[in-house]
Amino acid sequence: MLRTLAKACKDWGFFMLVNHGIRERLRNEMLEAFKALFDLTDDEKGSYIGTHVLDPIRMGSGFNSMTDTGECQCVRHHAKILVHPEFHSVPKPLNFRNISKQYSDCTRVIGLELLKAIWEGLGIKESRVMEALKLGLCTQYLAANLYPQYLNPGSAFGLAPHSDLGFLTLVYQNGVDGLQIMHKDRWIYVKPIPNSILVNIGDHMEIVSNGKYKSVLHRVVLDSEMVRMSIMMVIGPSLDAIVEPFADLVNANSPAMFRGLTYRDYFEHQQSNSIVEKRALNIVRFRTDN
């Protein structure tokens, strides 16, 4: 199992998780709760729109309304809520708090178990990673994207090519195709196994693994007939943890590819700028003259 997981992380940057233990009813309740959130009036949602990227609750459209222009324009509505180490929730819809708490707790357990297996596959002791990255205070964001019907889907993306921050993103979607990943210089549709959770490798896994596992470049294309919704759980280190290649993976034959930077600073940089593939990693990438 560890070998299979390591191969998926190294060769693909994502995998499908089955038998994960998150009840189908809870997954669908979470989808419906987010749908009800998106259906609220602008006045009801207004206090969460256009706020700072590190605020615990944010709603908006595109990727970043302050920077969305030209090549990086995205057609989506989104909500992002910090649920760990401190739990936050919107007051409406009324059932949102209870459902999101259950969903967040389940996915955090799964995410940390996956990380434990990934560290083992990399030959890193879990206790040392937990201490260095303060994973007891891991940063966990619950997010949702709603991609509306778009009459001319070829003219814009739901979400332009990008990689995720954090270690892992756990994704559940409503069954409408649209997610594509870049694999060997080709865009490939991801068609999930029924009842599975998609797991993406994020930028901070690439940093910690010193480039052994690459964050996956992915995008969302629009559908002209159906609305697509997805729920993401992004799991990363503590905001105050300095993330850098783990010492056991750095040597004369494999020098450090990235410098250390707090997760807070990387988070703010990535979320405050235009979305352009994996450009955010350049803020920590060491450059070499060829």
Q: Which domains does the chain have, with CATH numbers?
A: 2-283 (2.60.120.330)
What is the reported pLDDT for 149? Answer: 86
Whole-number pLDDT of residue 290: 37
**pLDDT given for residue 82 in this prediction:** 97
Q: pLDDT tens for residues 194-222? A: 889 999 999 999 999 999 999 999 999 98
Q: What is the pLDDT of residue 69?
A: 46
**CA distances from residue 188 to 60, 173, 180, 182, 230 in whole angstroms, order as listed:** 28, 17, 5, 6, 18
pLDDT at 74: 79
pLDDT at 227 > cutoff 50: yes
Q: What is the pLDDT of residue 85?
A: 97
Q: What is the Cα–Cα distance from 281 to 269, expressed in whole angstroms? A: 10
Distance of CA 100 to the CA centre of its chain: 17
What letter would DSSP give residue 216?
Answer: P
What is the structure's pLDDT at 262? 98
Give dist(CA 196, CA 189) in Å, integer.
16
- Cα→Cα distances 2→119, 200, 234, Å: 10, 17, 22
For the chain, what is the mean pLDDT?
A: 91
Least reliable range by pLDDT among 1-5, 124-128, 150-154, 239-243: 150-154
Per-residue pLDDT tens over the stretch 154-189: 777 899 999 999 999 999 998 888 999 999 999 999
φ and ψ at residue 208, rounded to 5 degrees: -60, -40
Question: In the chain, what percentage of residues exceed pLDDT 70?
Answer: 94
pLDDT at 194: 87
CB contact at 8 A, 104 and 233: yes
Greater confidence, 1 or 167? 167
pLDDT of residue 105: 97
| Each residue's pLDDT tens digit, 252-288 | 999 999 999 999 999 999 998 888 899 999 999 997 5
Give the pLDDT score at 46.
Answer: 76
d(CA 74, CA 250): 38
Determine the 3-state secondary structure of 128 from DSSP: helix
User: Which residues, at least 6 apart from 13, have a Cβ–Cβ distance to it below 8 Å?
Assistant: 181, 200, 201, 213, 214, 215, 216, 217
Provide the phi-psi class of 84: left if phi over 0, else alpha when psi is between -120 and 50, else beta.
beta
pTM: 0.92
Residue 63 pLDDT: 62
Band of residue 50 on the pLDDT scale cut at 50, 70, 90: low
